[in-house]
């Protein structure tokens, strides 16, 4: 008998999460060319994207690194920060993307303020909370 019994999991998995997880790869289409691979960043004028978040909120940054092929010299630089502070960044082409579902995670609020103190462009992904309110107030 297998340690992982998919049939048994499906019996108790009333929301179908196993199938969602197993099908996750289908949500990431393979681009036709390297130019298409970098297209999502072309419109924002960034050659360095810093993704700040904790837990599941930071995973998007890891996925972005993988999708863009961070190991290739021609790929935009993607840095993931899971901490209270950013590294010192002086690159004009840097965009700091702060992610927090609740918008209340103290580390992401600190990262947002740290990016502001360094004069970096910021964008936020949040469902609400203090982080979304600050982003709206800052335009």
pLDDT in tens, 39-92: 555 667 777 889 999 988 999 888 888 777 655 666 668 899 999 999 887 667
Q: Is the pLDDT of residue 11 over 90?
A: no
> Contact at 8 Å (CB) between 97 and 118?
no
CA distance 26 to 34: 19
Per-residue model confidence (pLDDT) at position 1: 42
Strands 48-52 and 121-126: unpaired
Write the pLDDT tens digit of every residue in 85-127.
998 876 678 899 999 999 999 999 999 999 999 999 999 999 9
Query: What's the half-sphere exposure (Cβ side, CA atoms, 13 Å) at 121?
Result: 11
Mean pLDDT of 124-139: 95
**Confidence band of 5 (pLDDT split at 50, 70, 90):** confident
Chain Cα centroid distance, residue 135 = 17
Report the predicted TM-score, pTM, of the whole model to 2 decimal places. 0.70
Per-residue model confidence (pLDDT) at position 134: 96
Per-residue model confidence (pLDDT) at position 102: 95
Please spell the DSSP secondary structure of 1-42, one letter per residue.
--SS-HHHHHHH-TT-HHHHHHTGGGGSPPPSSHHHHHHHHH
**Confidence band of 32 (pLDDT split at 50, 70, 90):** low
* 96 or 11, greater pLDDT: 96
């Amino acid at each position: 008998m297998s340690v992982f019994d998919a049939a048994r999991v499906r019996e108790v998995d009333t929301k179908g999460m196993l199938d969602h997880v197993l099908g996750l790869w289908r949500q990431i289409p393979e681009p036709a060319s390297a130019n298409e691979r970098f297209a999502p960043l072309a419109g924002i004028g960034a050659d360095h994207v810093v993704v700040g978040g904790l837990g599941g909120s930071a995973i998007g940054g890891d996925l972005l690194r993988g999708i863009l092929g961070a190991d290739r010299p021609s790929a935009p630089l993607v840095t993931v920060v899971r901490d209270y502070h950013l590294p010192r960044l002086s690159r004009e082409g840097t965009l700091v993307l702060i992610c927090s579902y609740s918008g209340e995670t103290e580390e992401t609020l600190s990262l947002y303020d740290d990016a502001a103190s360094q004069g970096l462009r910021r964008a936020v992904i949040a469902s609400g909370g203090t982080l979304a309110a600050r982003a709206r107030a800052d335009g």
